[in-house]
Amino acid sequence: MKLLLRRIFIALVGLSGLIWLGYEAILRAHQLSFVPPAMQVTDILYAAEEAWGFGPGGNETGIIVYAMPENTRQRVETDGTDWLNGLAGSGSGWKGYYHNWHASPYDAKVPGAFDIWLAKARDETCGHGAGIAAYMFRYGFCIPIDHEVEALANRALSEPGNFYAFGRIGMLLVIPAENRIIYAYNG
């Protein structure tokens, strides 16, 4: 009896481990799907995401920071928006697909944009400053985000040398000098 219980316990622990590994693999694939496959991104450096509800009417917000591969950085530095505008999406319809890439600094007149710099910190960005937090928390759903990540995104949006585009529910920000790509979303 004792041996049987031990085997059941080991089997349950193993099954729990497999379920956890499966969940982590699905989450990683989901997070990587927001970047066009041609960018060859494989490393997720930071992620802060929350979702409330499911399907239509559900709300979500988040930010994911990826390491930019060297070959992607070279292509962006060499060909800029020409290369970025030619990238295909991830094949799931809308994920990883961005059009109308723009060079920074951020322009509120770009289709899909709004003036993220005018947000009032306490009222509209949950204690964060204007900038990327104003984009993420546009619909009033706030999450804690690392202040260094926020500062990196805001610098990239306000200084020249970077690129951004809007997808269906998010913004992709390419920062060649930092070898970083940031996906921020609201919905």
Name the least confident of 38-52, 147-161, 170-184.
Answer: 38-52
Average of per-residue pLDDT across 60-85: 92
Residue 16 has pLDDT above 70, yes or no: no
Q: Which residue has the tokens 């497999």?
A: 18
What is the pLDDT of the chain when averaged over all its residues? 81
Q: Which residue spans within the chain are E strands per DSSP?
A: 44-52, 59-67, 99-103, 163-166, 170-175, 180-186
Q: How far apart are CA 157 and CA 67, in angstroms?
A: 18
Give the whole-number percent of the chain exceeding pLDDT 90: 34
- If we measure between CA atoms, which residue out of 157, 109, 116, 137 comes closest to residue 180? 157
Q: Which pLDDT value is given to residue 39?
A: 92
Average of per-residue pLDDT across 156-177: 92
Confidence of residue 34 (pLDDT cuts 50, 70, 90): confident
Q: Which pLDDT value is given to residue 8?
A: 72
| pLDDT tens digits along 75-104 | 999 998 989 988 876 555 666 678 889 999
Q: Which pLDDT value is given to residue 133?
A: 83
Q: How far apart are CA 18 and CA 90, in angstroms?
A: 27
Q: Which pLDDT value is given to residue 109?
A: 85
Confidence of residue 55 (pLDDT cuts 50, 70, 90): low
Residue 122 has pLDDT above 60, yes or no: no
Residue 45 has pLDDT above 80, yes or no: yes
Burial (0-12, 13-18, 19+ Cβ within 10 Å), 185 = buried
Q: Which pLDDT value is given to residue 65?
A: 97
Residue 158 CA to chain centroid, in angstroms?
Answer: 18
Peptide bond into 105 cis (omega under 30): yes
Q: Which pLDDT value is given to residue 86?
A: 84
Give the ranges where 52-146 is alpha helix by DSSP (H): 70-85, 121-124, 132-136
Average of per-residue pLDDT across 136-158: 86
- Count other C-beta atoms under 10 Å from residue 73's C-beta: 19
Q: Which pLDDT value is given to residue 151?
A: 93
**Contact between 173 and 156 (Cβ < 8 Å):** yes
Residue 3 CA to chain centroid, in angstroms?
Answer: 48
First-to-last alpha carbon distance for the chain, in angstroms, is 53
